[in-house]
A and B are shown apart, each in its own frame.
Chain A
Amino acid sequence: MSTEALRIALVGNPNCGKTALFNLLTGSRQKVANYAGVTVERKQGRYTAPSGRVVDLLDLPGAYSLDAASPDEAITRDVCLGIAAGETRPDLLVCVADATNLRLHLRFVLEVRRLGLPVVLALNMMDAASRRGIRIDIAALERELGIPVIETVAVRRAGAKALVERLDLAVPLPAMTSASDADLHAEVRQLLRAAVSMPSRTAATDDAIDRVALHPVWGLILLAGLMFLIFQSVFSWAGPLMEGIEGGIKLLGEWSVATLPDGPLRSLLNDGVFAGIGGVLVFLPQILILFLFILALEESGYLPRAAFLLDRLMFKAGLSGRSFIPLLSSFACAIPGIMATRSIQDPRDRLTTIMVAPLMTCSARLPVYTLLIGAFIPQRTVAGLFNLQGIVLFALYVAGIASALGVAFVMKRLRRDRSEHALMLELPSYRWPHPRDLAIGLWERGWIFIRRVGGIILALTILLWFLSSYPAPPEGATGPAIDYSLAGRIGRWLEVVFAPIGFNWQISIALVPGLAAREVAVSALGTVYALSGSDETVAAALGPLIAVEWPLATALSLLVWFIFAPQCLSTLAVIRRETNSWRNVWIAAGYLFGLAYVASFITFQITRVLSG
């Protein structure tokens, strides 16, 4: 324990299992998924070697070459060369390679070997390799490469034991070579001849699945069906669970209120906490179902296939197949989606993807959509199969996607630089998602949501309750107290701006805390209505309440508003960080606000005329 920590960095091609190995060694839970470009920033962790020595382990983005072509590869290059700002060069590199993909991965190993740092090669995915009958002569590989070679299985509990033990011993510096880049390929072929025997170049199952999944007709049908299935199930499967939660909250609310004397505390609990927070917590099942699908798709290896199928269409709209995964992640939340654009090589494609990512319907918008759809769209079966409410939800998602394509198209038109855009996207092997990993992923997602509800959403709701309750009404006031409060006054003032698109003052005031977290719009409406209602209203009652209070035109206008409106400060902050420009933030916020206002205005006015 006397020596200082050993600094080790994990490097290697994309999707070879670096992060899985990192998680196994350090006990972390960084994101692991089956496509290239999952890790886009450096992550640090720590473990203690059997000798007692502390190891600082660095997980890096995957790179095809140290000649970086995208922002995430540049991070890896800078750390390897020791030129990363505020970072000392690692003492040792663990180069991870996928044993089923050695033709590609060994070239990078050779590139890393030239760096002048001690290197250990971790041959990962040995389980998959032996299943496919790939035999690797480790001793021969070690001899030819001149560096230690250790087999690992990063997804098994004891899969990195040998690696940990080897890293505890001294690792020599590899002999310096001055091979040119062309020689590297020749050397890889030589290595493969000497040490690897492979019955076939590809996995038979991959070929079989791809014959359908990438088929020009069946492939597209499968993709469309899959997407539709996700949206239908988010709406219909979640129903019973949501009713359960709703009932539970209602009971809890009634019980806790009954035991309290009338007064501010009772109002805070009833109108603030239960009406507000309860209204958001109800959406946990929907969010979990959405994430279950996203997690399973990410691990299956299907996502890059979808990118392949859609590349041409996305290219015509000014995007790229590479935008697909960042945009799909944005359905969960635009923030990781925008981060994921780091794996896009072309700076123009990357910027366009960042700018349209907020148009993807993030999970924080689900509560708002569900509330409004539940209140205003009748529960009917269409064509004997589909749920009308599910169809409306699907349409809202499609509207977001369509407007993203439209905006990207305009950006493409406005751009002067018409040079070629790169794709060059790797399609990984298919893999069964491990139920355990899915469960852990869901558990984490659920916790994040609950922490959000108990943290920022609760805080904002309580704040709004205060603003809506004070200053207290003067002696002899007749209207509800909220009319005299600060929030009531701000709401009336905002109403001037929002009246043309049909928002009353309650909606206007609820939109303000929604800037910090979109779900708060729902809890805020719950609180505002609970305080302005004459009888006691709890969360569960918000839907029926607005169904009678609001005209249909207002509800539709608010739905449309949420497709576009840039009401998420964290997203704007990430745009600032990732593009390093305030100008882009202003452009994004400006165009989203403009689109939201115009679209809601049109929706409101037309619906008003049609519904008389």
Chain B
Amino acid sequence: MRLSELLPGNTAVVREVEDVGSADPIARRLRDLGFVAGEPVRLVTRGPVGGDPLLVQIGFTRFALRRSEAARVWLQSDGAGA
């Protein structure tokens, strides 16, 4: 499952961040921000218009991510929906 599919209020664990194209700067930045394997993430809420952007808690920090950005983050299946 991708982070963009996680439901609000739910927590999961990151598996990996996928590059879109070669040398994807957005994927690189996501990894720098802490989206790395084994890190728990929580979808706090979604934006008011079209459910975009997503508010994501990673570590002790909250980031607003667009759906397309969150779609790069793959979650571990056992953590999903918990």
Contacts and interface: CB of A to CB of B under 8 A. Distances in A.
Contact of A308 (B28, B39, B47): B47
A67 B60 CA distance: 22
**A contact residues, range:** 35 or more
A307 interface: yes
A423 B66 contact: yes
Nearest to A66: B32
Nearest to B45: A214
B36 A182 contact: yes
* Most A Cβ at <10 Å: residue of B26, B32, B44, B53: B32
A107 B69 contact: no
Given A102-B60, A423-B69, A65 B29 contact: yes
A103 B34 contact: yes
A272 B66 CA distance: 55
B61 interface: yes
Nearest to A70: B29
A313 B49 CA distance: 7
Given A219-B48, A424-B29, A312 B53 contact: yes
B25 interface: yes
Contact of B53 (A103, A185, A219, A308): A308
B25 A424 contact: no
B53 A311 contact: yes
Contacts of B50: 312
A420 B29 contact: no
Contacts of B33: 64, 104, 424
A77 to B, nearest CB: 13
A65 B32 contact: yes
A569 interface: no
A308 B64 contact: yes
A181 B29 contact: no
Interface in B34-74: 34, 36, 39, 44-50, 52-53, 55, 57-66, 68-69
A321 interface: yes
A220 B48 contact: yes
B32 A64 contact: yes
B60 A103 contact: yes
A216 B28 CA distance: 30
A104 B61 contact: yes
Interface string A148-183: 000000000000000000000000000000000110
Given A104-B59, A217-B48, A422 B64 contact: no
Contacts of A236: none
Given A100-B60, A104-B59, A107-B32, A424 B26 contact: yes
Contacts of B34: 103-104, 107, 185
Contacts of B46: 216
Contacts of A427: 55, 62-64
A107 to B, nearest CB: 7
Nearest to B20: A420
Nearest to B25: A69
B52 A312 contact: yes
A518 to B, nearest CB: 34
A254 interface: no
B31 interface: yes
Which 7 pairs, one residue from A and one from B, show the smallest C-beta to C-beta distance? A103-B59, A216-B48, A312-B49, A65-B32, A425-B64, A427-B62, A308-B64
Interface of B: 20, 25-26, 28-34, 36, 39, 44-50, 52-53, 55, 57-66, 68-69
29 contacts: A64-B29, A101-B59, A102-B60, A103-B59, A104-B59, A104-B60, A182-B36, A185-B34, A185-B36, A201-B59, A210-B44, A215-B45, A215-B48, A216-B48, A217-B48, A309-B48, A311-B66, A312-B49, A313-B49, A321-B53, A420-B20, A422-B29, A422-B69, A423-B53, A423-B64, A424-B26, A426-B63, A427-B63, A427-B64
